[in-house]
Structure formats: C-alpha cells, structure tokens
C-alpha cells in the first residue's frame, strides 16, 4: 500500500493506544475541562489558559487570529459560557455534547460548524477508539472542542511557536485546514498499522492458520468499517468547503482543501484495498481449513480401505457352512492372516504410487 507523504511533517507515532470502542464519553467525563487560547499574527504569538469567567469578557487583540481549544465537552457550564461569548446556536451546543455524531458541516451566518473524528488504534487488541472533534470557524477566530486532552493538535501548536511562515501569516481558515490535515495524517497512521497487521496475518495463515486468526480478521474488518463510516462523510464535508459558497476560506487556502480532499480519496481507496486483502485472507483461511479436513478424511479413508479386505475375508470364513476351504487345515488360520496382510501391503503400494499418502499431490 502506498504511504502518504507530507512536505511539512515527518511520520509520527500513533500515541498512547486506547482500548475499547465506546469508552470516549467515560474518559471525557473524567478529564478536567479547560480552555486553551492562542492568539497570533506574523510577528507574535500569545498562549494562555482561560477560565469560564475569563472567556465571558475576553476580546482578541486587533489583527490577531484567535484559536480557542476546549478540552472536556461534558462540562456544560463551560460550553455554555463559550457559546454565549461567540454566539453559537443552541443546536451547535447540542451537536458538541452528542459525541456520537458523524462528520458533517453546518453553515451559519457568522461561522461554519463541522464535526469529524479522531481515531486511536490498539494493535494488541486490533481495535480502535475514537474521539469527536468539533470546529467552529469564524472570520477571525477558530473554536475547537475535544473530548479529552489527547495531544493530537500539539504538532500544530509547535509549528505556530516555531513561526512557520505560512501558518502564522494566514487566517483562521488556513489553521482550520492545518488541523484537518493533522487529523488526516493520524488516519493514515492508523491505516498503516492495520495494513501491517494484515500482512502479518497473511504470513501466519500461509504457515499455520488457527481459529484466533479468523477472529483477528473479523476484528480488522470491523475496524475498516468504522474508518470508512468516518472518512466517507468527511469527503462530502471537504467538498462543501471547497465550494466555499460563504467565503470563509480565502482563495489561497482552497487549493490546500482540494489536496486534502485528494488525500481522503486516496485513503478510501487504500482502505478498500485492505478490505479486499482481508476478504482474501478469509478465503485463505477457509481453503486451509477445507484442505486440512480433506487430508483427515483421506487418511481415514485409507485406513478404512485397508481393513475392508480383512473384514471381507473374515466374514467369508466366518459363514456357517459345513464344507469350506481351509476349514479343517491346520494352517488355515495363518493362511488367511497372511492373505489379509498381503492385500493390505499391495493396497499401500498402490496408494503410495498414486501419492495418496502424501499431503501434497502433483497435478
């Protein structure tokens, strides 16, 4: 599978794996809610933690881009304070609180609101957990809402601190693209990890398949279904952003959105290729299982055929007739035994010449 390359970043690790699939809400409930603010322009950057009371009267400095990131979306009073400050619609607040949303885009007069998901892959259990990421893009600010402080946006913050020219000189629209691109980068990292596990499964199936391999195949197929459900609607979201009907993205940022859309197409195609590989692994497992059953049935058939002549001879000489050959001969018993053994040896030779006794038979 071809791996995605990005000119601004090197390959990063997946981070701490998250076990389970439905534990996002519980983890978010236990995480401390906080507001992290970054204001920047080409000359300076200011980073600060805000409280619920600070956000009510907070004003962004003139000529600065404001990025407000909220951790802990189950802190309703905190979310309500942010919503009042930036005049978010009540339906937006409901969407943020409902952490099982599919990726979507809603348009409001003063901002765009979009939902997407961030996935974590647990290689040990071959499962994924996900986190909902919500974004509200205004003309001069960007709001992001995360269920827990996962560190997924830390590379973007580091680029801002280092003074990355294009990011610091652009508006919140380019920041929104950068965050979406970082999420897509994580998607590709998860995809690479799944592809590696699928290749290991293929090697194991060709050598010594086990019932556990079949369970792992089903686990990986379930993971690919979850990823497809998240990325397929994201393509529609990006397509709507590219049209830029309300002008929230500058003409300089739209080509980057097209590039991001191409990455989602590439991701979907790679995901379909992995699903085809997993279907092939299922066929390999079923073929190996069928071949093993055939070998066992053939072995039992050979044993049964070896005893059939002996059974026939014993049945003939066991009939209750008064006159029978060898019945009164002193060595009649041994003659019948040697006859049984001779027929069995002859049959074994025939089976061996036809290669019925080996696990591989030449075509």
Domain boundaries, the chain: 24-287, 319-363
Token digits of residue 286: 């079923």
3-state secondary structure of 143: strand
pLDDT score, position 362 = 42
As a whole number of angstroms, the distance between CA 133 and CA 104 comes to: 11
pTM: 0.73
Whether domain 24-287 has CATH 3.30.460.20:
yes
pLDDT of 251-302, one tens digit each? 999 999 999 999 999 999 998 888 888 888 877 777 777 777 777 777 777 7
pLDDT score, position 255 = 94
Residues in contact with 323: Cβ distance below 8 Å, sequence separation at least 6, in sequence order: none
pLDDT score, position 116 = 92
The residues of the chain scoring below 70 in pLDDT are 1-32, 321, 356-363
pLDDT score, position 57 = 79
pLDDT score, position 321 = 67
pLDDT score, position 265 = 92
pLDDT score, position 27 = 42
pLDDT score, position 10 = 33
> What is the torsional sign of CA 242, 243, 248, 250?
positive
Give 3-state DSSP helix, strand, coil % of the chain, rounded to 5: 55, 15, 30
């Amino acid at each position: 599978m071809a791996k995605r390359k990005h000119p601004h970043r090197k390959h990063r690790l997946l981070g701490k794996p998250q076990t389970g699939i439905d534990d996002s809400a519980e983890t978010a409930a236990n995480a401390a809610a906080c507001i992290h603010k970054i204001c920047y322009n080409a000359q300076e950057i200011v980073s600060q933690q805000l409280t619920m009371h600070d956000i009510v009267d907070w004003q962004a400095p003139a000529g600065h881009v404001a990025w407000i990131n909220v951790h802990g979306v189950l802190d309703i009073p905190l979310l309500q304070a942010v919503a009042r400050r930036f005049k978010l619609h009540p339906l937006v607040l409901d969407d943020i609180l409902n952490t099982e949303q599919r990726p979507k885009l809603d348009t409001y007069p003063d901002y765009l609101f979009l939902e997407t998901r961030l996935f974590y892959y647990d290689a040990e259990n071959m499962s994924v957990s996900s986190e909902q990421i919500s974004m509200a893009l205004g003309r001069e600010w960007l709001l992001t809402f995360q269920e827990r402080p996962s560190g997924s946006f830390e590379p973007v913050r580091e680029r801002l601190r280092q003074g990355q020219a294009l990011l610091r000189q652009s508006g919140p629209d380019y920041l929104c693209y950068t965050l979406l691109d970082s999420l897509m980068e994580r998607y590709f990292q998860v995809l690479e990890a799944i592809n590696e596990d699928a290749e290991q499964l293929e090697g194991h199936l060709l050598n010594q398949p086990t019932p556990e391999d079949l369970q792992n195949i089903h686990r990986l197929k379930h993971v690919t279904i979850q990823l497809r459900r998240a990325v397929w609607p994201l393509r529609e979201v990006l397509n709507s952003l590219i049209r830029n009907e309300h002008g929230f993205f500058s003409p300089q940022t739209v080509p980057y959105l097209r590039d991001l859309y191409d990455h989602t197409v590439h991701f979907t195609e790679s995901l379909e290729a992995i699903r085809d590989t997993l279907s092939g692994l299922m066929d390999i497992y079923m073929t190996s299982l069928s071949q093993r059953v055939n070998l066992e049935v053939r072995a039992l058939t050979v044993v049964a055929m070896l005893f059939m002549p002996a059974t026939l001879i014993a049945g003939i000489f066991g009939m209750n007739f008064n006159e029978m050959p060898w019945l009164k001969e002193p060595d009649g018993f041994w003659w019948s035994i040697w006859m049984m053994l001779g027929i069995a040896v002859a049959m074994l030779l025939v089976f061996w010449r036809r290669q019925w006794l080996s696990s591989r038979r030449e075509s």
